[in-house]
């Protein structure tokens, strides 16, 4: 699985910098048209945070965007726009708008939030956003720069583009499989295993997220998805339900929608409230959000307390390529 996660992260590094900007619908989707390069970073964060709000992770987009939470884990957007401005990659503003328009509106899963974000931005529609300008063998510090979309660990663009399903691959990072494919011991790019497939205990075979390969329970050794809302769940499982906005009700052993802010709750339940409003004195009580008063560091929800006000974390400085 480690190799698959690494590949997904590379794919997002190739693409994510192009996915942003533009005016938006209330649900976070763009209205179409193009996205200016200087606008894409804020649009990417807004789109991701809108998903987080939809999944009851944050009370509003502004609070999410100011945290070190869900919007983190993305590539350094300021760094990537700088790569474009240096002429080391080309940016397609229309493709950027199309990428964010394709963002699914359903709630991502808990255990795979970060991975599924990478997966989306590595899809073919989002990978049209950037075209690298550095040829194979040229110096690089990110796949965004390379015509082959792959920057090897040694800092040079991979000699070949990513290999499609059924193509030949090798273990020397010269012929890497495309996103959502794995290289078999026979040197062929194969797809991830679907739900219901047998998942033998071998390192190169991986269940397609959000499925996993349980070693115990009712379906050991079978690619199995976590229970959806309304389905039976195991309250002792650390991640018992498929959806971020569900919890496993210990009274019914059913995946149930989390209790909204302001509603009554019982503290004996396992995290029954939405994430930003923990059960306090029998009520799902919102923690201080962006701009709210606070008493000390730690009282704000995923933010820092500055001068008794919940404030954003500092923006990360652009990375340094060093070429």
Averaged pLDDT in 10-residue chunks for the chain of 323 residues: 27 31 40 81 85 88 84 66 90 92 73 67 84 93 88 86 87 73 86 87 72 76 88 82 87 93 84 90 93 85 91 74 69
pTM for this prediction? 0.73
> What pLDDT is stored for residue 261 in this prediction?
94
For the chain, the three-class secondary structure string (H helix, E strand, C coil) is CHHHHHHHHHHHHHHHHHCCCCCECCCCCECCCCCCHHHHHHHHHHHHHHHHHHCCCCCCHHHHHCCCCCCCCCCCHHHHHHHHHCCCEEECHHHHHHHHHCCCCCCCECCCHHHHHHHHHCCCCHHHCEEECECCCCECCCHHHECCCCECCCCEECCCCCECCCCECCCCCCCCECCCEEECCCCEEEECECCCCECCCCCCCCECCCCECCCCCCCCCECECCCCCCCECCCCCCCCCCECCEEEECCCCEEEECECCCCECCCCCCCCECCCCCEECCEECCCCCCCCECCCCCCCCCCEEECCEEECCCCCCCCCCCC
Give the pLDDT of residue 72.
61
pLDDT of residue 4: 26
pLDDT score of 80 = 80
């Amino acid at each position: 699985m480690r190799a698959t996660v690494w590949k997904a992260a590379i794919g997002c590094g190739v693409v994510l910098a192009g996915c942003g900007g533009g005016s938006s619908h209330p649900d976070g989707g763009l209205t179409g048209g193009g996205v200016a390069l200087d606008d894409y970073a804020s649009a990417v964060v807004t789109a991701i945070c809108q998903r987080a709000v939809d999944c009851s992770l944050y009370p509003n987009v502004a609070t999410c965007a100011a945290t070190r939470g869900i919007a983190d884990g993305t590539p350094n957007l300021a760094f990537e726009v700088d790569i474009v401005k240096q002429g080391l990659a080309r940016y397609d503003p229309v493709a950027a708008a199309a990428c964010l328009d394709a963002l699914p509106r359903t709630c991502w899963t808990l255990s795979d939030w970060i991975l599924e974000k990478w997966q989306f931005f590595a899809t073919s529609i989002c990978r049209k956003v950037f075209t690298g300008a550095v040829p194979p063998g040229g110096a690089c510090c990110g796949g965004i720069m390379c015509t082959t979309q792959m920057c090897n660990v040694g800092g040079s663009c991979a000699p070949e583009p990513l290999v499609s399903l059924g193509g030949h691959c090798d273990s020397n990072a010269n012929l890497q499989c495309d996103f959502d494919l794995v290289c078999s011991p026979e040197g062929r790019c194969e797809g991830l295993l679907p739900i219901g497939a047998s998942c033998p205990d071998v390192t190169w075979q991986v269940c397609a997220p959000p499925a996993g390969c349980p070693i115990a329970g009712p379906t050991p050794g079978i690619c199995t998805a976590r229970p959806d809302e309304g389905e039976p769940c195991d309250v002792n499982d650390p991640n018992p339900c498929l959806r971020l906005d569900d919890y496993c009700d210990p009274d019914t052993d059913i995946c149930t929608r989390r209790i909204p802010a302001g509603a009554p709750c019982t503290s004996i339940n396992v995290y029954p409230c939405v994430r930003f409003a923990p059960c306090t004195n029998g009520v799902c009580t919102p923690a201080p959000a962006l701009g709210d008063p606070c008493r000390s560091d730690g009282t704000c929800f995923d933010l820092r307390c500055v001068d008794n006000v919940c404030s954003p974390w500092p923006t990360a400085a652009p990375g340094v390529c060093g070429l």
